């Protein structure tokens, strides 16, 4: 398959993840949709690595994977802390900082 197919697929996955981040309101699901977007970026990086024939893109993809793991650890820790202090599990209700 041509590299362009992989890139278009990664663009579609990125957009599905973006739509999820915009429409869903549970912080847990928003984190999962962020995972989707990061994975779409990973697919594009690996496709570009195949296109250039060098391993650099794969190294970038691994770094993205590690950053995503860090994000998950801290994000899930925050969600558990929110749950413990009985805060609403809704990003629209958590507007004390008026963000």
Partner 1 sequence: MESVVFFVAAFMAIGGALGVVLQRNPFYSVLSLVVHLLALAALFLLLSAEFIAAAQVIVYAGAVMVLYVFVVAYVGGLEDPLMEPNPVLRIAAPLFAVALGVELSVAILGSGLKGIDSRGPHVGAGFGSPAQIGQLFLTRFLIAFEVVSLLLLIAAVGAVVLARKSAAHPQADERVPGGTV
| Range 52-71, binding partner 1 (CB under 8 A) | 52-53, 55-56, 58-59, 61-63, 65-70
The single residue among 41, 86, 95, 98 that binds partner 1, judged by CB under 8 A, is 86
Instruction: Answer whether 27's CB lies under 8 Å from 71's CB.
Output: no
Alpha carbons 74 and 58: distance in angstroms, whole number = 25
Quick one: 35 or 98, whose CB is closer to partner 1?
35
Is residue 17 a contact point for partner 1 (CB under 8 A)? Answer: yes
Give the span between the Cα atoms of 60 and 98, in whole angstroms. Answer: 35
- Min dist. Cβ of residue 64 to partner 1 (A): 10
């Amino acid at each position: 398959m041509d590299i362009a197919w992989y890139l278009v697929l990664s663009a579609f996955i990125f957009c599905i993840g973006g739509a999820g981040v915009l429409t869903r309101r549970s912080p847990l699901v928003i984190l999962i949709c962020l995972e989707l977007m990061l994975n779409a970026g990973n697919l594009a990086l690996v496709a570009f690595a195949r296109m250039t024939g060098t391993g650099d893109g794969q190294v970038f993809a691994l770094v993205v994977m590690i950053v995503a793991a860090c994000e998950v650890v801290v994000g899930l820790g925050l969600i558990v802390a929110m749950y413990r202090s009985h805060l609403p599990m809704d990003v629209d209700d958590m507007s004390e900082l008026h963000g």
